Amino acid sequence: MDKVQEGFELIFTIVNAGYTDLVMEAAKAEGATGGTVINGKGTGNEAMEKFFGITIQPEKDIVLILIPKNLKDAVLKAIYRDAGFDTKGQGIAFALPVDEAVGLGKAVKDLQNP
């Protein structure tokens, strides 16, 4: 199993439905090659909504982006800037450590070892 790759992170972004383009454009500008979108439904806290004076749209999209560790900070920052809480996307992004990954294309490997 020589092709197993380490040193990746999974960026998990939850945005309002229809705003996945904001996330992907921000991520691609920082070097991400692609992502996967899942539809979901948020369960916001009404008291919190009143307190902060915002409405939480229940329909959500989840964007999964697998990215080399060295690009993680830049991509997270870009997502926060372009699709973060102060934008229409109202996105929440976080990264999870990936132990092993298989099936990534050559483009992604090049990103890891520039």
Residues of span 27-66 touching other proteins by CB under 8 A: 28, 33-39, 63-64, 66
**42-50, 76-84, 85-93, 96-104 -> range binding other proteins (CB under 8 A):** 96-104
Q: Which of residues 76-95 bind other proteins (CB under 8 A)?
A: none
Neighbours of 6 (CB within 10 A): 10
Q: Name the region of 103 (left: φ>0; alpha: ψ -120 to 50; beta: rest).
A: left
Q: d(Cα 95, Cα 107) in Å, to the nearest integer?
A: 21
Residues that bind other proteins (CB under 8 A): 1, 3-4, 8, 10, 20, 24, 28, 33-39, 63-64, 66, 96-104
